[in-house]
């Protein structure tokens, strides 16, 4: 099993992120932005782009959004891996949750997922995310279609229980 690491994304990673977003079936599940949008968001204080890597290279990316409003809530805005089904996505999400909760001010991490994305829902539930409800017609696709989204969240105490209270989370240098 390869060791994975998570690092802050750089401008040079935008091509990898865009290629991953554009894999078959990913655009509707993850979304797809152009380079200018990624570059702009990477420069914003409330967005953190991260890259998952093995010794062989990058395998995935995640975008974490955290408003600086003092509520202690972060959003796993986007996450994708290039090759699903080999367990690396689960390990990446676990690493991303560790990264988020390394900030002692974060109490809640939430995400939304398409109800028909059974694989993602299973992975999120396996690591402790709880389905909170259906957000009806919450997603609008570029062609104007609408879709429901499931809201899922993971609270700090749930993360601690699932990962072990003595687990040391390390913050990512920005």
**Structural domains of the chain, count:** 1
Look at residue 173 and tell me whether its pLDDT is greater than 50. no
- Residue 164 reports pLDDT greater than 80: no
**Strand, helix or coil at 2?**
coil
Task: Identify which has the larger pLDDT, 75 or 167.
Answer: 75
Average pLDDT over residues 8-29: 90
172 inside domain: no
Tell me if 171 is assigned to some domain: no
Q: What's the distance, CA 62 to chain centroid?
A: 4
Contact yes or no for 120/92 (Cβ under 8 A):
no
pLDDT tens-digit profile of 94-118?
Answer: 999 999 999 999 999 999 999 999 9
Tell whether the model's pLDDT for residue 121 goes beyond 90.
yes
Reported as a single tens digit per residue, the pLDDT across 31-58 is: 778 999 999 999 999 999 999 999 999 9
**How many whole angstroms separate alpha carbon 127 and alpha carbon 93?**
8
Q: What is the pTM of this model?
A: 0.89
Parent domain of 65? 5-163
The reported pLDDT for the residue numbered 170 is 47
DSSP string for residues in 66-122: E-SSSS-EEEEEEEEESSTTSSHHHHHHHHHHHHHHTSTT--EEEEEE-TT-HHHHH
Specify if 122 maps to a domain.
Answer: yes
- Position 112 in a domain: yes
With a cut of 70, say whether residue 166 has pLDDT above it: no
Q: Is the pLDDT of residue 132 over 50?
A: yes
Would the pLDDT of 72 be above 80?
Answer: yes
Average pLDDT, the chain: 90
Evaluate whether residue 169 is within a structural domain.
no
Q: What percent of the chain has pLDDT over 90?
A: 75
Residue 138, in any domain of the structure:
yes
pLDDT of residue 1: 62
Contacts of residue 88, Cβ cutoff 8 Å, sequence gap at least 6: 2, 4, 52, 54, 59, 60, 81
Q: What is the pLDDT of residue 24?
A: 83
Q: Does residue 168 lie within any of the structural domains?
A: no
- The answer to whether position 173 is within a domain reads no
**CATH code where residue 51 lies:** 3.40.630.30
């Amino acid at each position: 099993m390869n060791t994975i690491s998570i690092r802050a994304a750089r401008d040079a990673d935008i091509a990898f992120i865009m290629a991953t977003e554009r894999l078959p079936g990913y655009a509707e599940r993850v979304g797809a932005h152009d380079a200018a949008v990624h570059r702009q968001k990477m420069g914003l204080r409330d967005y953190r782009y991260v890259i998952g890597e093995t010794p062989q290279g990058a395998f995935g990316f995640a975008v974490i959004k955290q408003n600086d409003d003092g509520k202690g809530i972060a959003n796993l805005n986007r996450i994708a891996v290039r090759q699903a089904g080999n367990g690396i996505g689960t390990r990446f999400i676990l690493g991303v949750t560790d990264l988020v909760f390394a900030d002692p001010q974060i109490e809640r991490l939430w995400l939304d997922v398409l109800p028909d994305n059974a694989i993602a829902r299973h992975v999120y539930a396996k690591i402790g995310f709880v389905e909170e409800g259906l957000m009806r017609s919450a997603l609008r696709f570029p062609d104007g279609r609408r879709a429901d989204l499931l809201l899922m969240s993971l609270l700090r105490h749930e993360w601690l229980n699932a990962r072990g209270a003595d687990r040391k989370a390390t913050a990512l240098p920005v």
